[in-house]
Amino acid sequence: MIKRTLGFVALLCGWLMASSSLLAHHSLAGVYDMKNQKELSGTVTKMQFTNPHGTLAIAVHNDDGSTTEWVLTLGSATALAQRGIGKTGPNALHVGDAIKVKVLPAKTGNPLGALRVVIFPDGREIQTSGANPND
């Protein structure tokens, strides 16, 4: 009886630890400032449609004439396609494209962010993720 109870408790503890680490992995709130949205203008330097998270890098020209490459975390390729962003079509993003983005910047101040909105040169806006901190 004691062995069975201890086995059950160990299994339950293992399951709880695994589930909490999965939630921590998917929470943007630990890395990004969820209350501070920032708008950036730049040129696409890299676009990766990968799972579980894609990456968009843009070169942003600073006021002093220098350039900073911002690396933005995206949702999955499937989630982006469902929102209209893909490798082809009218909402495709390619290296060299001039765009604006709205991002949640990293808490550390590094040029990292979670992409929220893409704004195309013609003014079209596509929301790439919702307001949920766990998107």
CATH topology of domain 38-127: OB fold (Dihydrolipoamide Acetyltransferase, E2P) (2.40.50)
For the stretch 55-99, pLDDT in tens is 999 999 999 999 999 999 988 888 888 887 877 888 888 899 999
| pTM beyond 0.85 | no
For the stretch 9-23, pLDDT in tens is 555 555 545 544 444
Residue 97 contacts residue 44 (beta carbons within 8 Å): yes
Q: Is the pLDDT of residue 47 over 60?
A: yes
The pair of structure tokens assigned to 23 is: 């939630």
